[in-house]
Amino acid sequence: MADEGLLVQSQHLFEINTSPGDGAGNWVRVARGFNSFEVANNEELDQTHYLDGVGYGTSTVMGAQLTITFTGHRYYGDEAQDWIFARKMEIGTGRETEFRWTLPTGEVFEGPCTLAEITGPSGEANAKGEITVAIHFNGKPTYTPGDGNGGGGDVEG
């Protein structure tokens, strides 16, 4: 069980497979240089008004796609960042791999993904190169309930 209280975001563990299609793969931590992430479920809604709703609508989630957008600074020499940015100009399957997200509670979301919206490095002359990459899970990721061992706060790298 995770400690009670406010969550420190650095306790999440994010990993990307830098050898897709190669058996067990090569899972590398996505962390160095990134200082923020945003999770979205990108839901598609059907909103319908029925006669018995007296003017109020009903929403049904018809589809979704789990995405995680990372922002931060370009760190050359980091295995995950170097692998991601080597694919910036690729299209199609050249941007597909697998991704794993372990929450501080030990819950895990894992599955095939596409690297999207790779931007940067860019910014002011006297600033670090700002970057963004979005991980778009392809299909519903596999969910594993938490085991109480937590995420990646104590992992080096």
Distance CA 142, CA 111 (A): 6
**pLDDT on residue 147:** 77
The predicted pLDDT at position 92 comes to 94
* pTM of the complete model beyond 0.85: yes
pLDDT tens digits in sequence order for the chain, 157 residues long: 456 788 889 999 999 999 998 888 999 999 999 999 999 999 999 999 999 999 999 999 999 999 999 999 999 999 999 999 999 999 999 999 999 999 999 999 999 999 999 999 999 999 999 999 999 999 999 999 987 665 555 555 5
From residue 43, alpha-carbon distances to 36, 40, 70, 91, 129 in Å are: 22, 8, 19, 24, 32
8 Å CB contact between 93 and 113: no
The Cβ of residue 99 has, within 10 Å, a number of other Cβ atoms equal to: 24
pLDDT of residue 35: 97
131 close to 147: Cβ distance less than 8 angstroms: no
Query: How much is the pLDDT for 151?
Result: 58
pLDDT score, position 156: 53
Give the per-residue pLDDT at 1: 45
The answer to whether 13 and 106 have CB atoms below 8 angstroms apart is no
- Looking at residue 23, its pLDDT comes to 85
- Residue 152: enclosing H or E segment and its boundaries? none
